[in-house]
Structure 1
Amino acid sequence: MTDPQPPREEILDSSSFEDRDALGDQLAGLWWTFLLRGIFAALLGVAALFWPTSSISLLLRLLGLLLVLDGGLTLLGFGRRGLIGGAGVGALLIGLVLLIWPEGVARLTFFLLGAWAFIVGVGSLMAWRQMTDQHPDAPSVRNSGIVALVIGLALIFWPAGGMVALGWAIAFAALAFAAVMFWLAARFKRAHERIEMRVVEMRVVNR
C-alpha cells in the first residue's frame, strides 16, 4: 500500500511579484505626470464653467489638447504595450479628433468624453490588477479606476443637449479628472519619497 501523496502546495513565482511591485514603483516615479494632468484639467474645467458658448470650438480644442497630453504622458511612462498603453493610444486619438475637427464632432463630445473616461478607468483597473495586494498604492489605483468608469458611463449616457449642456459636461469631466489626478499625484509622490528613503537605507547598509 502506497503512502498518500502530500497535498500540493501552490507554487508562486517570485518574479511575478517583483514585476507587480515594479509597476507600483514605476507609477510612483511618474507622480509628476499626474500633477501635470491635474493642473491642465483644472484650468480647463474652470474655463468651461465661464466660457461663452460661441467659443465652444476653442473649448473643444483645449479638451483635445488635454487628451493628447494625457495619452502622450501615458505612452511616455508605459509605452504602447498592454492595455495601459492602449488606453494612452485611445486618449491620443480622441484628442487629435477634437483638435482637428471640433465643429464636426461637437454633438459627439458627450460620447467622446465618456469613452475617454471609460478608457482611463479600464487602464487604471488593469494597472491595479497587475499590482500586488500588499502594495500601498493599489487601493488608490483601484478607486481612481472605479471613479473614472462611473464618470465615463454617466457621460456616455448623458442626454443630448445644447452647447450650454456641453460646456457643463466638459467642466464636470475636467474638474472630476483633475481631482482624481491631484489625489493620485499626492499618493504617488509620497510613495516615491518612500522608495527614495528605501534606496538610501539600502546604500547605507551595503557600505
Structure 2
Amino acid sequence: METYLTRFWWLFLVRGIFAVILGILALVMPVTTFAVLVIFIGIYMFIDGLFTVAAAISSRKSRRYWAWWLLSGILSIIIGIITLYNPFITAFAIVMLIAVWAIVIGIMEIIWAIQIRKEIKGEGWYILAGVLTLLFGLMVFLIPESGIVLLASLFGLYALVIGIMLISAGIRLRKRGNGNISLTA
C-alpha cells in the first residue's frame, strides 16, 4: 500500500489544491457558491431519480417492493426538476429546515439545562448554548440570506482544511517515495 500511495502522491496534491481553491471561492463568494451547490444537488437528484426509476422498472418482476423504488425515483426526478427550474426554492427550503432545527434544539437545550440545574454546576453555560442556538435559528429564519452565507462559509472552511490536509499528505508521500509521478497503477 505504501508503494501505491507514494507513487500517486500527486493525486493528493492536486485534490488538495482544488479543495483550497473551492474553499477560497466559497469564502469570497458564499451566495454564488451556495447557488452552485444547490444546482449540483438538483442535477444529482434528477440523474439519481432516472437511475432509480430504471432500476425499479427492470426489477419489477424480481423485487417485491419495486413500486417504492419507482415512487422514490419519480420524486427525485420531480424535486431535481424543481431545483433546476428554481434553485431559490430548494435553497430556501434547506435554510428554513436548518432554522427550524436550530430553534427546536435551542429550546430543548434551555429546557434540559433548567431541568438538570440541581444535578450539575455551571448549567448557565448550557442555557447560554441553548439561547445562542435559538437566536441563531431565529436569525436564519428571519434573515435567510444569513443562513446561506453561513452554510457556504462553513463549507469553505471545511474545504480549506481538507485541502491543506491533502496538500500536506501529498508532500509527505512525495518525500517518502522517490518523487516520480506515475499515471498507471
> Which TM class, normalised by the smaller chain length?
0.3 to 0.5
Between structure 1 and structure 2, the one with the greater Rg is 2
Q: TM-score, normalised by structure 1?
A: 0.37
Q: TM-score, normalised by structure 2?
A: 0.41
